[in-house]
Structure 1
Amino acid sequence: MVELNLPKIDCNIRKNEGKVEIFDVIRRKFILLTPEEWVRQHLIHFLIYNRSYPKSLIKVESGLKYNRLQKRSDILVYNRTASPFLIVECKSFDVKITQAAIDQVSMYNRQLGARYAVISNGLTHYCCEFDLERGKMNFINSFPDFE
C-alpha cells in the first residue's frame, strides 16, 4: 500500500487463506485490506490517536436509508449526546475526490444531520461544516476538534 498524507499507524496485518487483512480497532475484527480500507483505518487511527476522538463514539460502515435505498457511511462519529457529529467518506488513494463524492456525503448527511463531514482519499482531505438550519456547507481548513 502507498504512504498516505496521514500519520503512520501501528496496525495489525495478517495473511488469511491467501488474502491480506487488517485489524479494525472499532469493529474489533480483521477486515480484507483494500485500498479504501487502508485509507479508512488510517483515518480511524488519526481521529482516535491524533485528534482524541473517543473510540466508543465511532461507528464504521453504519447503515442509513436514503430515498428507500440502503446506504452506508464509512465512518460516523457521534457526540456525547449520541447525535451524529462527523461523517467521513473514504475513497481509495487512487481515486480523485470529485464533486460527486462531496455530493454523496452531503446526501448522506441530509439523513444524519452531522455538523461536520470529511471526504478523503488519504492523500487529499476536504473538511466541511454544515449549517443545518440554512442547508449550506462550508469548507473548513482542518479536521474539527471533538466537542
Structure 2
Amino acid sequence: MFTPIPLNLPPYAAKIQQDGTRWYIFDELRKKQLVLTPEEWVRQHWVQHLIHTKRYPKSLIKIEGGLKVNTMPRRSDLVIFDTGGNKILLAEFKAPSVKITQSTFEQIARYNTVHRIPFLLVSNGLQHYYCRIDFDRNSFEFLPDLPDFPTP
C-alpha cells in the first residue's frame, strides 16, 4: 500500500490509484495519471499550493518543459508564466529523501542560464528555498516566501 510522505506543504485530496504493483497520481494540469514517485508527490503538492494558496492560474503553469543546456536535452520541473507570456518562476523539485545541496542550486542555475527567469524555487517538500534574480546587477537574493501571483 502507498503511504503518503508528510510534506511541509498544505495537504490536498490527491487522486491516487493502484494498478498492480504501481501507484499513480492524477496530474490536474496534464489531465493524466502519472507514476507516483516521491519527486512527483512533491511536485503535485506544489502545483496545488501554487494554484490554491498563491493564486497562480493553472493555464500559466507548464510542467517538464524541454530545454538544452550545453547542447544536452534537459527538462525543467515547472515553469510559470505571467499573463503576457513571460517566464516568471522556475522550480526544481527533489524527493523528500534528497537533501537540497549546492549541486541542486547549480542545477537550477544552469537551467536558468537558458530561461533567464527572475524567481527560482527549490524544494524537496520539506525544505523550500526562494530566490529573486537581478540580471541587470548580476546578483540574487533569498526570499522568506514565494510571492503570490501578481494581480492587476
TM-score tier by shorter-chain length is over 0.9
Number of residue pairs the alignment of both structures matches: 147
Indicate the residue corresponding to 1:83 in structure 2: 86
Equivalents in 1 of 2:5, 2:18: separation in Å?
18
Equivalents in 2 of 1:132, 1:28: separation in Å?
35
Report the TM-score, using the length of structure 1 for normalisation: 0.97
Across the aligned residues of Structure 1 and Structure 2, the Cα RMSD in angstroms comes to: 0.9
Indicate whether 1:68 and 2:71 are aligned. Answer: yes
Percentage identity across aligned positions? 41
Indicate the residue corresponding to 1:23 in structure 2: 26
Report the TM-score, using the length of structure 2 for normalisation: 0.94
5+ long unaligned stretches in structure 2: none
Indicate whether 1:123 and 2:123 are aligned. Answer: no
5+ long unaligned stretches in structure 1: none
Indicate the residue corresponding to 2:6 in structure 1: 3
Question: 1:19-71, CA deviations, whole angstroms, 9 ceiling, x for partnerless residues?
Answer: 10000011110000000000000000000011100000000011011110111
Equivalents in 2 of 1:98, 1:87: separation in Å?
17
Task: State the one-letter code of the partner of 2:37.
Answer: T
Task: Give, in angstroms, the shift of residue 134 of structure 1.
Answer: 2.4
Indicate the residue corresponding to 2:113 in structure 1: 110
